[in-house]
Structures are given as structure tokens and as C-alpha cells.
Amino acid sequence: MKPIIIGNWKMHLTASDVGDYARTFLAEPDILTKAEVTICPAAPLIPAVAGAFSNSPVQWGGQNAHWETQGAFTGETSMAMLSNLGCRLVLCGHSERRKFFHETDEMVSRKVEQATAHSMVPVLCVGETYEQRHQQQHEVVVMEQIRKGIDLLSAFPSLALYVAYEPVWAISTNQAIEPNPSDIIAMARLIRNALREELPTGAESVPILFGGNVNPQNAKKFVDGEVVTGVLVGGASLNPKTFHQIVTQLV
């Protein structure tokens, strides 16, 4: 299976930066065909990213969208809007959404449902805070995020889902503590077990990704190719050369 590599640009770059980024990133396209690479820019940049990468192996996705199909929600983006721009996946419940925009597990589960209803792959983001790990609550917290996050998926005949385990304390803009890879694999195994318990079928084929200050130096440590099969990259995806190096490390 190809490694899955997702770049989350967060609230960085502008549409004017996309052309140069794409030219640099696509300079060695062969290697990109050996991975499944997706870039998630901020919503207003999606048309530029779609234009720059449409004839390349690189795909694009959304960082977030609302759980309602449409309506009077000023400033929000719908799943239909993302899907219409060719997004193949959408991040749901990123820790920054949970922290700064007070997203609950219930909201996240409705986003996962809406993404699926619009034929995009929901990337369910889970992860505990530093305090929660310190208090030995990390397993309980993450299992709850998984169970509630996929709560509404059983209504769909086929399953398309990724899980991204991003311990909040490992993210570069937080404490950026580098985790022990064995702790990441252990949590990924627990996530797999929870998926087996909750999903009627398909739990074995849900890719589990790791995120948290992934860079070209450490990417390989966290991807064992069996339990963890990809990465969700924030800061290091903003530089096309660095992001390309991460792809090179993992293929």
C-alpha cells in the first residue's frame, strides 16, 4: 500500500504563493506517484491548488467544513462546496478546531457524516492534550473521540475513513515534544481495536496516520507501514522542498 501523506497548510500562504509552490513540489513528479499525497489549503486557496495540481499525482482536500448541508451560517463552508471543488478528503475535528472553535465530538461526528454523504473521505483527527496524557487519561480520551467520531457512519453502505492520531503536545505550535514511536504505534493499535468494535465492516482497511511535528528527519520513525501508514504534516508542508523530502523518506 502507498504511504498516505497529507499536508495541512492551516491558515498560511495565499493563492499567489500556489504557483511557485507547485512548480517546486512537482519538479520530481515520479516519486509522488509512489505515495498518496494530498494538500489541504485554507478554503479560499482551493481553486488555485486545484488548478496547479490538476494534471499531477497530487490531490487536494479541505481543512474543515460545516456539519449542516447549507443555510444561514455566515463565514462557513459546506461539504458540498468542498466536494464541488474536487476535494477528495476533509479533515474533521482537528485539535485546533476543537480548542479554538469549541468543536465537540458530536459536531465532529456530524462532519464525518456529511463528508461521507458528499463522497469525500473524512479524516477523523483525534489526540489528547499534554495534561490528559500526564493524568493517564490519553487512552480514554482518544477512544471516546474515535467512538463518538464514527457514530453516524453505520448508516452508510460503504466505508471510507482515515484516522489521524495527533497528540496535541506533539504539534509544532504547542509543546512539540517528540513522542516515542512505540507510544504512537501502541495508540494506533488501540484505535484499530476501537474501530473493530464499532464498525460492522471495513475496520481493518481504515488507514491510521500520525501527525505532530513530522519532518524529513523523523517521518520514518512513526510510519511502520502496518499499523501507521501515513502522516499528517503541518509546518513542514509549507515549504515544498521540505514536504517533498518527507515524501521521499516514506516511499
Residues lying near ligand 13P in the complex (CB under 6 A) are found at 8, 94, 166, 171-172, 211-214, 232-236
- Which DSSP letter does residue 204 get? G
Find the catalytic residue in 36, 113, 128, 166. 166
Find the catalytic residue in 66, 94, 138, 244. 94
> What is residue 30's three-state secondary structure?
helix
Rounded to a whole number of angstroms, the minimum distance from the CB of residue 91 to ligand 13P is 7
C-alpha grid cell for residue 30? 515520479
Rounded to a whole number of angstroms, the minimum distance from the CB of residue 202 to ligand 13P is 24
Q: Is the Cβ of residue 126 or residue 203 nearer to ligand 13P in the bound state? A: 126
> What is residue 185's three-state secondary structure?
helix
Rounded to a whole number of angstroms, the minimum distance from the CB of residue 238 to ligand 13P is 9
Q: Is the Cβ of residue 52 or residue 233 nearer to ligand 13P in the bound state? A: 233
Residue 118 a catalytic site member = no
Phi, psi of 214, deg, nearest 5: -70, 135
Q: Is the Cβ of residue 11 or residue 155 nearer to ligand 13P in the bound state? A: 11
CB 249 within 8 A of CB 223: no
Residue nearest to ligand 13P (CB): 234
Q: Is the Cβ of residue 149 or residue 211 nearer to ligand 13P in the bound state? A: 211
Residues with Cβ within 8 Å of 174's Cβ and at least 6 positions away in sequence, in order, are 130, 168
Measure the CA–CA gap between 87 and 39, rounded to whole angstroms: 10
Residue 144 a catalytic site member = no
Residues with Cβ within 8 Å of 217's Cβ and at least 6 positions away in sequence, in order, are none
CB 228 within 8 A of CB 183: no
Rounded to a whole number of angstroms, the minimum distance from the CB of residue 229 to ligand 13P is 16
- Residues annotated as catalytic are 94, 166
